[in-house]
Structure 1
Amino acid sequence: MNLGTLPLLVSLLTAQPTAPSAVANTAPLPGLPNVLISGVPAVPPELERRVHQYLESRNAQLVDVTDDGKQVLISTRFADVAQLHLVEMPMGARTQLTFTPEPIAQARFLPGSANVLFYLQDVGGGEFYQVYRFDRSTGRAELLTDGKSRHEGLGVSRDGKWLTYANTARNGKDTDIYVAPTDNPRQARRVTELEGTWYPVDFSADGAKLLVQQFRSVADADLHVVDLKTGERRQLTPKEGMGSVVDARFTPDGKGIYLITDRYSDFSELYRLELDKAPYTAAPPSLTKSIRWNVQGLELSPDGRQLALDINEDGISRLYLLDTRGNTLSQVSLPQGVLTGLTFPRKRSDTLFLSLITSRSPTDVWQVDLRTKKTTRWTRSELGGLNTEALVEPELVRYDSTDGVKVPAFLYRPRGASGKVPVVVIFHGGPEGQSQPYFSALIQFLATEMKMAVLLPNVRGSEGYGKAYRAMDDGVKREQSLKDIGATLDFIASQKDLDASRVGVYGGSYGGYMVLATATFYPERIKAVVDVVGISSLPSFLQNTQAYRQDLRRAEYGDERDPAVRKVQERISPLGAVDRIRAALYVQQGKNDPRVPQSEAEQIVKAVRAKGADVWYMLALDEGHGFGKKPNRDYATMTALMFLEKHLGTPAPAAGGSGSKP
């Protein structure tokens, strides 16, 4: 043996594996070795029995439809994770196609061959999705991509000849677009090689052109067209100014496009652009000017005669049809809820498929006959045997904040409650997200079983209320947006049936930042905080989020490398003011989170514990930005409910007020 190698050999043999968590006293949960906990007590069997039915709810998300509309591909869960299933008639059996340990939510049939489909899947919630080809005739899936870089934006041309996606393979930071023949999908070629984030949007009907989006932020994007034969790329949206690109479709002849953008209005509206006139220097006529809400989705019928539009009206989805021959709009009646996944079969223009979720029922697939406007339900997802009529419907409320802002919110008031009830405020993520009335096991259990009110505010910066409202928290303006937290607490104090002395907050991702900010800047007004994959320090979050996301997030939060911006970010970051936190804290995190890294959770846990406070901590080793596996998700939900019941369930000795503001 070479004696020079001995120290190296000894170090390799004695090296200890890196601990999965820097938080003291973390240990695997009995029965769930991939979940580490610290300070979390055992779930009482009584609570576990009470919540069990709520946790058995399923969703059936529309993924794709066969060319003739006779078979529907859905993503639903029958074991631990969502998998692809086939439904061959309304209310028919759900035949499972994939049986993988990781969830699958995005897939596309190969046009002309319902036996072949392509799908995206990651490992452990890391969001480094890979492209797979699945053959129903053999039941086998084949990995088509490198297994390392992130892939997204999966699409297939209408003639079935071409596959497209974006990935980060070139340098790990920029996102390029690739096109590959479906009969030889490993022969992918790069059609954009540019700085920034680029996604494929739509193929022309003949497969010769591809719409691509250059994405800088939700508020700043451009649309281009690429000639796939020559490689020529031409920008279609104006080179000056800013605006969103929500979605776009080629017209059937490939000479024009339908585009949803807020470039010319406060709201996202629908426009038709002719390619030979682009880029436009003036605003083209809006096709949805009469609707003063965001158009948030579209799908064009194969014959090009009808556009299906998803309109976000104060958080509720409305389905409209646009007759493209006369540009006339008509509305289709649907149950009140939130739509996703508008899809026409590739060879039928008389029927439309969609997903719909309501506040009292999970996501299911519906079909609309466009001749009669009759709706047909294709799936009925289980709710653990619960009576949906006993669940709570929210009411839409608004309350005043500073700077003339009126905050819209959905309020779930428990039925049959006596006296003042505790309140759980749930902040959405994003920040450009929006709370909408959708079924949530957590919300319904709080309101129905625990008799707590649940309030979902859409504070300034939320999507759905115009781009001016969405921009109110950009960069250093985020400091002003924190005043909406105070307005939310004031609203609770103004309600005779809500107990302002028993308020808890719950939020994930940016919502996690908001709940930590509530604990920091309104310490005397809340009792309990559940932070799920949340940001504890804006500068460290921006420095440590995945490289492909950094510039996108800096456009929203401001650039932490600018000393003036960083000063504001540090001032409003909870980590720098943990001494002010008085509320009980429960932090939940996925180890593989590429968006909000594990360090954001662990630094706030350690800092709060250092000042002598008790903190519950949960770390899932096989999860990322949230919990995709049922056992992990069930445990996270049960323990969050246990935590909130512990700290909010006992009334104050005397009538409580709102407390003093910081």
Structure 2
Amino acid sequence: MTTTAENAPLIPRDALFGNPTRAAGQISPDGKMLSWLAPKDGVLNIWVTTRDKPNEGKVITTSTDRPIRQYFWAPDGKSIMYVQDKGGDENFLLYQIDLDTLEEKTVTPFENTRIQIVGASETIKDKVLLGVNNRNPQFHDVHMLDITTGELTLVYENNGYAGFMADDTLTLRMAMRQNAEGGTDYFNIENNEVSAEPFETTAMEDSLTTAPAGYTTDGSILYWLDSRGRNTAALFAQDTATGEKTLIAQDDKADLGGTIRDPKTGVVEAYSVNYLQNKWTAIDEELGAALNWLDGKLDGDFGISSRTDDDRTWIVWNDPLTAPSATYIYDRDAETLTPFYTSRPELEGMPLQPMHPREITSRDGLTLPSYLTLPVGSDSDGDGTPDEAVPMVLLVHGGPWARDSYGFNSIHQMLANRGYAVLSVNFRGSTGFGKDFLNAGNMEWGLKMHDDLIDATDWAINEGVALPDKVAIMGGSYGGYATLAGLTFTPDKFACGVDIVGPSNLETLLETIPPYWAPLVKMFHTRMGDPNTEEGLALLKAASPLYKADQIVKPLLIAQGANDPRVKQAESDQIVGAMKEAGIPVTYVLYPDEGHGFAKPSNNISFFAVAENFLSECIGGRSEPLGDVLAPSTAEIVEGAEHVKGLEDALGG
């Protein structure tokens, strides 16, 4: 590292992973009220104020343990609703706060239940459709919720469908079910009767790149993001009376992503394409003018997070990339942009680093869209390559049917601040880049998907970015699996690994998927390996790091949530046990009150404290001392405290 890097301010962990000052700002449907999430007694709760007093506010919820992370205004604007689980179990229930009385009630007071929003309406403001799986955990029955009274009325008892879609009249119009090939069948619904035959169907190859995107308010148009007969998903409008489809937009390199739609009519006004960076294209001239005006006022990326019913006021978020994100109130008629809040003002003036999009070529010729962040002070000419090679962390995304994107990333910033290059790679199997790229990952866990990560690492070494003997691999969920695969299948490639809630045994992973994923299990089998066949089971076992745990020769840190419904604690327990049996050292951190990732800031901060000190000892970067960071958390150091700098002392304290 250069002197500049060594002398740069150490960004405190709390500033990156602690509670934001404010987050998730929204505006009421009538435009008179503002809402946001902010801590009360250290826990994120919902706050409100009148629109003319954005710097004031009162808290309206009373969460004292787990942060509230998802909320929304009821369509009638008279209440605010939020979803919350317990200890990370992902059984999300629905809660409601009456804004006149501030009375809070549990809308779905059930045990072991996960609710879904099936439909909301532009014209029916006092009702929403909910999916509730309290009768059968595999299937969500559809209920009509009367927002005023809280009454739930059964609309459709579901005994076989994975999801539903309704129109603006809150009438069920479509049911979806996985077919024998691992694709999806789409059925019309009339008078709450599902048709016998599907009106649309996809093969497995299109199952993750084709989906309906909603009806217009009058129900005459059904939008699709559709990859059938093509590679990338394009935007189509289907006439619901005739079935005829019209192509609206397409892109050769990436699937069409989001849309902006007229809140009154539901007609698409703009669409986005996210290849290396997200780009919006307006169809509607007036909306295009608004986006262009905002683009001239804001640096970096921006988007709309909330709109009034009349669409004249927007809440706009702005990610300047090398400064903390900010949120504004945009009055379209007055053309004013009023500051609402900065999420993490403590990051102002900190040495935040730019992210560099990169295209990396795999050994068999695929282009891997990737993102590189460099240590502060390491790139004097700003060309995205350090003046000399530095230690690197390969940060692998979860899913694997997900993707890395361009923008502010707290983990990238912390690691770059500590002296590491950080590389995130969209390996084959990642979503957003067309079905050919996605399906190239089928049956390739631990094989070509892993090869892509090795190829990207070799690229970084050959380009003078990374020191060959100082590359760590780190990630959560599938990224945790990739970490375990990296240390077992290619034991000499990485200097160490950090596995966060990663599966070690693909056979047991598939045996313990949440019950509400059961209607989709064929997709897992066709993309990973079918444990019910001899060939599929052999493939799953060969790709499971557990069976090669005795090959691990480099330091490994594992973190797990005890209540994880997706990757059960047994996935971490198994490989830790195998390593202990083989006499191989490992550090294992368990959070008894967390699930698939760590929601509580005290737990998140404690984990990254352990991780950065682990990496510091392994590949030589800087680290903020542990201090008393474990005390507010629930972290249990199950194994290997002695392998992390300062951890035994922190526990002793």
* TM-score range relative to shorter protein: 0.7 to 0.9
The equivalent of 1:23 in structure 2 is: none
Point out the more displaced range, 549-558 or 426-435. Answer: 549-558
* CA drift at 1:78: 5.2
Q: Report the counterpart of residue 650 of structure 2 in structure 1.
A: none
CA contact (8 A) 1:321 1:329 kept: no
Conserved 8 A contact 1:203-1:211: no
Tell me which residue corresponds to 1:65.
Answer: 27
Shift of 1:613: 2.1
**Match for residue 267 of structure 1 among 189, 210, 232:** 232
The within-5 A match list for 1:239-258 is 239=201, 241=203, 242-243=206-207, 244-246=209-211, 248-258=213-223
* Distance in 1 (alpha carbons) for counterparts of 2:356 and 2:444: 32
1:428/1:434 contact within 8 Å kept = yes
Of 424-433 and 390-399, more deviation after overlay is shown by: 390-399
Flag the 1:588–1:521 CA change in 2: closer, same or farther, 3 A. Answer: same
1:429 aligns with 2:398: yes
Instruction: Check the 8 A contact 2:117/2:128 in 1, yes or no.
Output: no
Q: Which amino acid aligns with 1:277?
A: T
Contact 2:185–2:202 (8 Å) recurs in 1? no
Alpha-carbon offset, residue 81 of structure 1: 3.9
Letter in 2 for 1:610: E
Letter in 2 for 1:84: I
Compared CA separation, residues 600 and 48, structure 1 to 2 (3 A): farther
Give the letter aligned to residue 504 of structure 1. A
Are 2:609 and 1:638 equivalent residues in the alignment? yes
In structure 1, which of residues 611, 616, 620 is the aligned counterpart of residue 591 of structure 2? 620
1:291 deviation in Å? 7.2
From 604, 607, 612, the counterpart of 2:578: 607
- Alpha-carbon distance in 1 for matches of 2:176, 2:330: 30
CA contact (8 A) 1:594 1:625 kept: yes
Match of 1:398 in 2: 359
Deviations 1:189-240 (A, max 9, x none): 1425132421x54541x4445555557899944555545xx21345885235
Instruction: Tell me the amino acid that sits aligned with residue 304 of structure 1.
Output: T
Residue type of the partner of 2:103?
R
C-alpha displacement at 1:501, in angstroms?
0.8
Q: How does 1:67-82 map to 2 (within 5 A)?
A: 67-77=29-39, 79-82=41-44
Q: Is 1:474 matched with 2:435? A: no
RMSD: 3.4
Answer whether contact 1:320 1:331 (CA < 8 A) is retained.
no
Deviation at 1:603, TM superposition (A): 0.8
Asked if the contact 1:80–1:631 (Cα under 8 Å) also holds between the matched residues in 2, the reply is no
Point out where structure 2 has 5 or more consecutive residues left out of the alignment: 1-8, 379-386, 623-653
Residue 69 of structure 1 and its aligned partner are, at CA, apart by 2.9
Alignment of 1:339-358 (within 5 A): 342-346=305-309, 348-357=310-319
- Distance in 1, matches of 2:393 and 2:439, equals 26
| CA distance 1:405–1:288, change in 2 (3 Å) | same
8 Å CA contact 1:422–1:503 kept in 2: the answer is yes
The 1-side partners of 2:473 and 2:495 are apart by 8
Rounded to whole Å, the distance in 2 between the matches of 1:589 and 1:542 is: 18
Partner of residue 484, structure 1: 452
* CA distance in 2: counterparts of 1:525 and 1:124, whole angstroms: 36
| Partner SS, residue 403 of structure 1 | coil
Secondary structure, aligned partner of 2:364: helix
Q: For residue 84 of structure 1, what is the aligned residue in structure 2?
A: 46
Partner SS, residue 96 of structure 2: strand
Are 1:119 and 2:52 matched, yes or no?
Answer: no
The total of aligned residue pairs comes to 593
Q: In the superposition, relative to structure 1, how do residues 485 and 305 fare at CA in structure 2: closer, same or farther (>3 Å)?
A: closer
Rounded to whole Å, the distance in 2 between the matches of 1:375 and 1:245 is 37
| Structure 1 residues 213 and 121, CA gap change in structure 2 (3 angstroms) | farther
Which amino acid counterpart does residue 464 of structure 2 have in structure 1? Answer: K
Q: Is the 8 A contact 2:276 2:369 kept in 1?
A: no
Cα displacement (A) at 1:342: 4.7
Structure-2 separation of matches of 1:218 and 1:115:
46
1:157-196 alignment, distance < 5 Å: 157-158=121-122, 159-196=124-161
Q: How do residues 29-44 of structure 1 correspond to structure 2 at under 5 angstroms?
A: none
Whether 1:150 aligns to 2:114 is yes
Task: Give the distance between the partners of 2:334 and 2:266, measured in 1 at CA.
Answer: 16
- TM-fit CA distance, 1:289: 2.8
| Cα deviations by residue, 1:291-319 (Å, 9 ceiling, x for unpaired) | 75322222421343863545233242223
Provide the C-alpha distance between the structure 1 equivalents of 2:466 and 2:119, rounded to a whole number of angstroms. Answer: 48
State the AA in 1 paired with 2:476. G
Quote the offset at 1:324 in angstroms.
Answer: 9.3
Q: State the shift of 1:500 in Å.
A: 1.4
Write out per-residue CA displacement over residues 531-568 of structure 1, whole angstroms, 9 at most, x where no aligned residue: 00111111111112222224153354232222211111
Task: Check whether the contact 2:176–2:187 (CA below 8 A) recurs between aligned residues.
Answer: yes
Instruction: Pick one of 535, 548, 559 that aligns with 2:516.
Output: 548
Q: Deviations over 1:578-624 (max 9, x none)?
A: 12211211100111100100000111111122222221111111111
Question: Which letter does structure 2 place at the counterpart of 1:572?
Answer: A
Kindly indicate whether the alpha-carbon contact (under 8 Å) linking 1:549 and 1:595 is maintained by their aligned counterparts in 2: no
Measured after TM superposition, the shift of residue 86 of structure 1 is: 2.7
* Structure 1 unmatched ranges of 5 or more: 1-46, 652-662
| 1:641-660 correspondence to structure 2 within 5 Å | 641-649=612-620
Give, in whole Å, the separation in 1 of the partners of 2:304 and 2:563.
28
Q: Which residue of 2 aligns with 1:446?
A: 415
What TM-score does the superposition give when structure 2 sets the normalisation length?
0.82
Tell me if structure 2 keeps the 8 A contact 1:298–1:310: yes
Q: Give yes or no for the alignment of 1:99 onto 2:62.
A: yes
Matched, 1:321 2:292: no
